[in-house]
């Protein structure tokens, strides 16, 4: 069995970035004991705090499509579950298994080759891989920051309300 290295020099590996997101999402899930308290709490605290310091190499936050922290919490949990379990659950619910989809795709590709249709962007697989890998790194980094932010915001909201009583 292949063993995954946990060297500190490997801190920019895809597995490490994925593990950081999973840890942040798990921490968020363990911290938020009553998710319904997040309903109707706006995702942005104040307009003056919408952008995070550029000294931390974090980009300004973009207004999210989620209306409140509860929806954002559900989104992060859903992404974590998709990463843990894969898309198999989703594909099974739609009727076709991944194996059936792969067979159909292979048949379509063979049919196209017989009829002289050139393969779709299959010539630059390395370029496609690097493009999508960079995108995945960026998305996972942003999701990790969002999960940490949601956890800290929940702690402030709950902690502040407990002291006021």
What local confidence, expressed as pLDDT, does residue 157 receive? 83
How far apart, in whole angstroms, are the C-alpha atoms of residue 54 and residue 45?
18
Q: What is the mean pLDDT of the chain?
A: 75
How far apart, in whole angstroms, are the C-alpha atoms of residue 94 and residue 87?
11
pLDDT-based confidence at 124, cuts 50/70/90? confident
- The pLDDT tens digits for 12-44 are 899 999 999 999 999 999 999 999 989 988 877
The better pLDDT of the pair 91, 56 is held by 91
pTM as predicted:
0.63
- The pLDDT tens digits for 61-72 are 545 454 789 999
């Amino acid at each position: 069995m292949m063993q995954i290295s946990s060297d500190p020099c490997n801190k920019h590996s895809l597995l490490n970035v994925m593990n950081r997101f999973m840890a942040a999402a798990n921490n968020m899930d363990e911290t938020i004991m009553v998710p319904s308290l997040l309903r109707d709490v706006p995702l942005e605290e104040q307009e003056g705090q919408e952008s995070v310091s550029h000294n931390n190499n974090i980009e300004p936050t973009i207004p999210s499509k989620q209306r409140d922290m509860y929806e954002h919490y559900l989104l992060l949990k859903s992404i974590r579950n998709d990463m843990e379990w894969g898309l198999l659950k989703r594909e099974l619910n739609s009727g076709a298994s991944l194996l059936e989809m792969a067979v159909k795709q292979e048949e379509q590709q063979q049919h196209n080759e017989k009829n002289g249709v050139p393969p779709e962007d299959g010539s630059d697989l390395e370029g496609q891989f690097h493009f999508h890998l960079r995108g995945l790194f960026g998305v996972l980094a942003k999701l990790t920051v969002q999960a940490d932010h949601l956890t800290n915001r929940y702690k402030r909201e709950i902690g502040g309300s407990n002291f006021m009583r």
